[in-house]
Structure 1
Amino acid sequence: MQAVALLKSRKISPEQIFMLSVLIVNGGNYVYNLVLGRILGPAQFADAAVLITFLLVLSFVAMTFQLVTAKFSVLIEDTKFGAFTSSIYKNATAVGIGLGILIVVFAGELQALFHTSTSSMFVIFGIGVPLYFIMSVNRGIFQGKKEFKSLSITYQGEMISRLVITLSLICLFDIQSSIVIAIGILLSFVFGLFPFKMPSFSIKQELVDPTRRKQIRNFFILTAFYELTQIIINNSDILMVKHYFESYEAGLYASLALIGRIVYFIAWMFVMLLLPTVVQLKKDGKDTAPILFKYLGYIAIIASIIILGCALFPKTAITLLFGESYLAMAPLLWKYALATGLFALSNIFAYYYLSLDKYIPVIISGVFGMLQMGLVVFFHDSLEQVVHMQIIAMVLLLVIQLAFFVYEQRIAKVANA
């Protein structure tokens, strides 16, 4: 009874609620992918993987608006916040509409490039793109203001609706699988909009001053560049494998990538907490390095456990998650998890310096993202070789990021001496 009373007396912080929510959301997304993999089989799952990868690419592009909104939600005064949110909503909507139109117009070319069964899935996906950008700004406001309960609800709404709608359509109607997946993704964007933070702008509110607008523009450009490197590093391999290999092999590789990326999606939870915390600490004139070490430690431990599990029980993991038809990927599972773990650690450094308005780590990530892509272009004789190229690129990336951090710390000590 005393234990129960103690648990009741302890309050769960909004940050803890958000971390738990992220675990639930990632778990739900994994269930979504795993069920699709089992139902569709490797060949059809390759088509599904293209749409899922497009969704991830979209999330990285829209993350630019989310991070900009989150950072300046901390920095901008309340009197100017309404003008800021109104402006960023308009810009995000315009970019979303433009990108959505491009996807719809070039749906046929995308079908030919990735050898998918239909172009209609790209048309449906393109229609939903503007909604995703609006949703991302909404999430950025919640993230910056540390309204983690509302932020959790938007992610849960998107995940649960996509899972329920897609699986319901597959079970109830005989519709082409890729079309069903596209419809599920589109409708999930609608559910992900709630709760919605309406922009409140009135004539009495002050406009954002030119100096701050310049800061917003510079951070936006820097973040957009970094998110582009995220797209290249995190998603180009699946799209390139779909281009270079047959559908069956591409489906096998998609299952490998899904399992191996568990560590990255867990690390993303810490990235979401890192940015507003670092910005606030810098604003208050406090040391930001301890929070970096804290999250690096968490991710290193989690990555090590996952890589070890993949090395010791690869067949068990693949059989339980996807089924025996995907067992050919068992020997590569720990290697892919290693590449992803290295990237997750490097990613923490990049987001940390992004929060501090330091650009070099972002440029470093861009260089090694292109290196990874170039290595796969020239060395793709087998799926194993594709994975090895990623490990090489990610080892080099982490080493350079660590070297930059050590260099920055030494410069800071000399300056403070």
Structure 2
Amino acid sequence: MQLLATLKSKKLSPEQLFMVSVLAVNGGNYLYNLILGRVLGPTAFADAAVLITFLLVLSFIAMTFQLVTAKFSVLFENNVFTSFVTKVYKQALLVGVILGIAIVGFAGQLQTLFNTTSKSMFVIFGCGVPLYFLMSVNRGTFQGKKAYKSLSITYQGEMLSRLLITLGIILVFNITSSAVIAIGIFLSFVFGLFPFKRSHISFRETIVLEDHYGKQIKRFFLLTAFYELTQIIINNSDILLVKHYFESYEAGLYASLALIGRIVYFIAWMFVMLLLPAVVQLKKEGKETASVLFKYVGYIAVISTIIVMTCLSFPELIIKILFGEDYLAMAPLLWKYAIATSMFAISNIFAYYYLSLDKYIPVIISGVFGMLQMALVIVFHQSLDQVVHMQIIAMILLLVIQLGFFKYENHIQKNSLSKVKNHSSTEKGNLTKDNDFSGF
């Protein structure tokens, strides 16, 4: 009660409340994964990790629609906004249905590919995919309009329902099949749809957007889709490749390592959600945007350093508390994996910053290094140590290149400003000479 009174007295801004909410959601998602890891054990948890990874992959694909909706919700208003959002809902639903049918149709092949115990978990998961895409567009409208209270509720609803439903079935009915995990995920998509803004949708005759708006939306959508694809590769290819190349027991151990090490990335995602609408708004107003980037990069750098040092100092304690003694074999790799995710998290802030400004080179850079990471793991996977080392190499190189691009862009901008100033000074000087009547 005292904490609530303190929060009320300090009157947190909507952005700060959203950050607190996201931390709670990430904490709940971590609790969900940790309990699954403890209850199921390494071998069974490997199957659950595949579904969780599929959920992450789905979230990155759907994030394309969310970010496009968020950006243009800042730029569009009134009937133009409604027309735009209605069109995005239709397209998102179509993509969701196609992907859902594909997952259901290839459930048997997916079971063989990832060595899972059943295909029913893929069938159930596939049925929920269209709902997830609708949910993402809904979230994009809240994000763009900075309706952070509603945005927080939809994330909390998804997390809490998945946690309570899944663990309730497992603990009450003692059912530990992978289908239970899929049912919990499916139902969480339903709860995540609320609150749903029906006023953002109009099925009447809509306004046709001008050609330059259409081209701008299409370009941003393709850039975002490509970048989210790189996110999928970098974030999830290692778990899927380890599941393919290693035995289920080792894959389960690695899944626990990845879950702990990725805490940096999930915290960074919170800042990305705030970064995009802020940068788009500042650009719209003709103001400088680099200060926003520096602020969030600083936050991530500090958080990353703390997490890496903690993982280096107390690896066994962390794994014992979070997963139990069955997973202790991963202790020596914990801080190394945290380094890889830290490098990626910082690089990610730079990439989303330039994506907000419609600059595509950092997106291509991320794609190249995402493929490099995947290729390195495919070639070098004699041990889990080697898999982690390959990721560190790829992510350090990615961050160095992103920093180099930022420095180059700043240099170009300074030169451009300098030329504009010199040109203005020259014109002013010529004007002064032309108006000099001292000779008369």
TM-score, scaled relative to structure 2: 0.93
> Hey, what's the Cα distance between the residues in 2 that align with 1:5 and 1:154?
24
Task: Name the SS for the 1:155 alignment partner.
Answer: helix
> Hey, what's the Cα distance between the residues in 1 that align with 2:343 and 2:92?
32
Counterpart of 1:26? 26
Structure 1 residue 12 corresponds to structure 2 residue 12:
yes
Counterpart of 1:194? 194
Counterpart of 1:324? 325
- Aligned residue identity for 2:261: G
Q: Shift in Å at residue 9 of structure 1?
A: 4.2
Counterpart of 1:313? 314
Distance 1:6 1:333, change over 3 A: closer
Cα pair 1:264 1:341 within 8 Å, conserved:
yes
The 10-residue stretch of structure 1 (327-336 or 191-200) with the greater mean CA deviation from structure 2: 191-200
Counterpart of 1:159? 159
**What pairs with 1:47-58 in structure 2 (closer than 5 Å)?**
47-58=47-58
Deviations 1:197-239 (A, max 9, x none): 1133265763321210111111000000000000000000000
Q: Shift in Å at residue 176 of structure 1?
A: 4.3
> Hey, what's the Cα distance between the residues in 1 that align with 2:227 and 2:403?
18
Structure 1 residue 87 corresponds to structure 2 residue 93:
no
Deviations 1:315-338 (A, max 9, x none): 000000000000000000000000
> Hey, what's the Cα distance between the residues in 1 that align with 2:125 and 2:254?
23
Counterpart of 1:41? 41
**What pairs with 1:126-275 in structure 2 (closer than 5 Å)?**
126-198=126-198, 199-201=200-202, 206-275=207-276
Deviations 1:36-60 (A, max 9, x none): 0000000000000000000000000
Cα pair 2:142 2:148 within 8 Å, conserved:
yes
Cα pair 2:96 2:129 within 8 Å, conserved:
yes
Percent identity between the two aligned chains: 73
Q: Shift in Å at residue 5 of structure 1?
A: 8.8
Task: Name the SS for the 2:26 alignment partner.
Answer: helix
Distance 1:400 1:124, change over 3 A: same
> Hey, what's the Cα distance between the residues in 2 that align with 1:22 and 1:8?
18
> Hey, what's the Cα distance between the residues in 1 that align with 2:6 and 2:389?
50
Task: Name the SS for the 2:179 alignment partner.
Answer: helix
Counterpart of 2:394? 393
Distance 1:326 1:276, change over 3 A: same
Task: Name the SS for the 2:25 alignment partner.
Answer: helix
> Hey, what's the Cα distance between the residues in 1 that align with 2:241 and 2:273?
28
Counterpart of 1:283? 284
Distance 1:322 1:206, change over 3 A: same
Cα pair 1:82 1:202 within 8 Å, conserved:
no
Counterpart of 2:424? none
Task: Name the SS for the 1:206 alignment partner.
Answer: coil
- Aligned residue identity for 1:359: Y
Distance 1:414 1:254, change over 3 A: same
**What pairs with 1:359-378 in structure 2 (closer than 5 Å)?**
359-378=360-379
> Hey, what's the Cα distance between the residues in 1 that align with 2:176 and 2:272?
37
- Aligned residue identity for 1:81: F
Stretches of 4+ aligned residues off by more than 2 angstroms: 3-10, 172-177, 199-207
> Hey, what's the Cα distance between the residues in 2 that align with 1:268 and 1:214?
28
Flag structure 1 segments of 5+ consecutive residues without an equivalent.
none
> Hey, what's the Cα distance between the residues in 2 that align with 1:197 and 1:6?
32
Q: Shift in Å at residue 362 of structure 1?
A: 0.1
Distance 1:97 1:205, change over 3 A: closer
Task: Name the SS for the 2:372 alignment partner.
Answer: helix
Cα pair 1:229 1:365 within 8 Å, conserved:
yes
Q: Shift in Å at residue 171 of structure 1?
A: 1.5
- Aligned residue identity for 2:389: H
Counterpart of 1:77? 77
Cα pair 2:279 2:292 within 8 Å, conserved:
yes
Deviations 1:9-55 (A, max 9, x none): 43211101100000000000000000000000000000000000000
- Aligned residue identity for 2:49: A
- Bigger-Rg structure (1/2): 2
Distance 1:154 1:5, change over 3 A: closer
Cα pair 1:34 1:321 within 8 Å, conserved:
yes
Counterpart of 2:425? none
> Hey, what's the Cα distance between the residues in 2 that align with 1:24 and 1:66?
21
Counterpart of 1:118? 118
> Hey, what's the Cα distance between the residues in 2 that align with 1:82 and 1:356?
23
Q: Shift in Å at residue 126 of structure 1?
A: 0.2
> Hey, what's the Cα distance between the residues in 2 that align with 1:382 and 1:147?
46
Counterpart of 2:62? 62
Flag structure 2 segments of 5+ consecutive residues without an equivalent.
419-440
TM-score, scaled relative to structure 1: 0.98
> Hey, what's the Cα distance between the residues in 2 that align with 1:203 and 1:152?
30
Q: For the aligned residues, what is the CA RMSD? A: 1.4
> Hey, what's the Cα distance between the residues in 2 that align with 1:404 and 1:48?
39
Q: Shift in Å at residue 175 of structure 1?
A: 3.2
- Aligned residue identity for 2:152: S
Deviations 1:310-369 (A, max 9, x none): 000000000000000000000000000000000000000000000000000000000000
Task: Name the SS for the 1:136 alignment partner.
Answer: helix
Deviations 1:145-165 (A, max 9, x none): 000000000000000000000
- Aligned residue identity for 1:32: Y
- Aligned residue identity for 1:392: I
**What pairs with 1:329-348 in structure 2 (closer than 5 Å)?**
329-348=330-349
Counterpart of 2:421? none
> Hey, what's the Cα distance between the residues in 1 that align with 2:314 and 2:157?
33
